[in-house]
Amino acid sequence: MIDFYIVFVEPESEDNIGALARVMANFDFKNLILVNPKVNPYGDKVKIVAREKGWEIIKNMKIYNSLDEVIDLFDINYGTTGVSSKMGNEVLRNPLTPREFANSIYKYDGKIGIFFGRESKGFSNEELNKFDGIITIPASEEYPIMNITHSAAIILYELFISKNNPIRKVFKLINNQERKYLYKMFKDFVDVLPSQDYRKPFIYRGLRNLIGKALITKREYSLLMGMLRIAKENIENCRKNKNQTL
């Protein structure tokens, strides 16, 4: 079974909290999390905008103090941004469209976090780097930034439509702890590569992008861990033998 959690980071408007809950109700999403809200998440405006069904979601939502503790709750995390790769780091910003995301995610089983940033400034590059993958809605290059609730409506609509696809085989997705082990193994492998040090963070981020897009299953995780371990040991042995020869 796949469980989606919608995470709104540092919301600055009661209207947007209420509207997000209402959109979630429209497309049958129930799990809402707020991170460090800057306004009263149970205020009168929230209740008015959310309407009856959205208010039910508000009453059951969870509130946390930091982004990092919420990221650790899920098996895989997707951040959202309206900034195109032309405006930033192309390795970091290698996003999926909502339709690409929706067409692939239901093949798997796990807890999925979808993160929406602040209304005023979204996510920083450092924060985006913490997510396993990025979702971006294609829009005009002249004005790509969308309102939080408009973005949520598009993404949740695509997920809602894709959910009704009857042709689907479900695979068990790796959990959050296994994902951390895999990232660590990738980092250890990149560290021993005969590559210039300044390139290694970009290589590592590229590998993380692949994992975020691929949605690794338990079987694939086992194969990858074994392959990376053998490759790392072989590189280390080659270096050791070369040093002994010298």
Q: What single DSSP character describes residue 173? A: B
Q: Do 47 and 140 share a domain, yes or no?
A: yes
Asked which of 113, 146, 171 is the last residue of a domain, the reply is 171
CA distance 199 to 188: 14
Same domain for 183 and 146, yes or no, is no
Domain match, 106 and 148 both: yes
When comparing pLDDT for 35 and 84, which is higher?
Answer: 35
237 shares a domain with 157: no
Residues 135-175: tens digit of each pLDDT:
999 888 888 888 999 999 999 999 999 887 654 555 677 88
Co-location of 32 and 84 in the same domain: yes
Q: Are 21 and 54 in contact (CB under 8 A)?
A: yes
- The verdict on 104 and 39 lying in the same domain is yes
Which three-class secondary structure string do you get for the chain?
Answer: CEEEEEEEECCCCHHHHHHHHHHHHHCCCCCEEEECCCCCCCCHHHHHHHHHHHHHHHHHCEEECCHHHHHCCCCEEEEECCCCHHHCCCCCCCCECHHHHHHHHCCEEEEEEEEECECCCECCHHHHCCCCEEECCCCCCCCCCCCHHHHHHHHHHHHHHHHCCCCCCCEEECCHHHHHHHHHHHHHHHHHCCCCHHHHHHHHHHHHHHHHHHCCEHHHHHHHHHHHHHHHHHHHHHHHHHHHHC
65 and 113 part of one domain: yes
Q: Which of 171, 188, 215 is the last residue of a domain?
A: 171
The answer to whether residues 182 and 165 belong to one domain is no
Which residues span the domain enclosing 43?
2-171
Number of domains into which the chain is organized = 2
Stretch 195-214: mean pLDDT: 83
The pLDDT value recorded for residue 169 is 55
123/193 same-domain check: no
- Per-residue pLDDT of 75-114, as tens digits, reads 989 999 886 544 444 445 568 999 999 988 887 778 999 9
Among candidate residues 171, 205, 222, the one where a domain is terminated: 171
| Mean pLDDT value of segment 188-213 | 85
Same structural domain, 6 and 114: yes
**What CATH number is attached to the domain comprising 163?**
3.40.1280.10
Give the pLDDT mean for 228-235.
Answer: 88
Chain segment 43-64, per-residue pLDDT in tens: 999 999 999 999 999 999 999 9
Same domain, 21 and 92: yes
pLDDT above 90 (res 238): no
Please report the pLDDT score of residue 83 as a whole number.
Answer: 64
Least confident of 100-114, 159-173, 198-212, 228-242: 159-173
Same-domain status, 106 and 22: yes
Provide CB contacts within 8 A for 143, sequence distance 6+. none
Q: Is the pLDDT of residue 71 over 90?
A: yes
What is the pLDDT, as a whole number, of residue 244? Answer: 62
* Length of the chain (residues): 246
Tokens encoding 131: 């997510």
Share of the chain above pLDDT 70, in %: 90
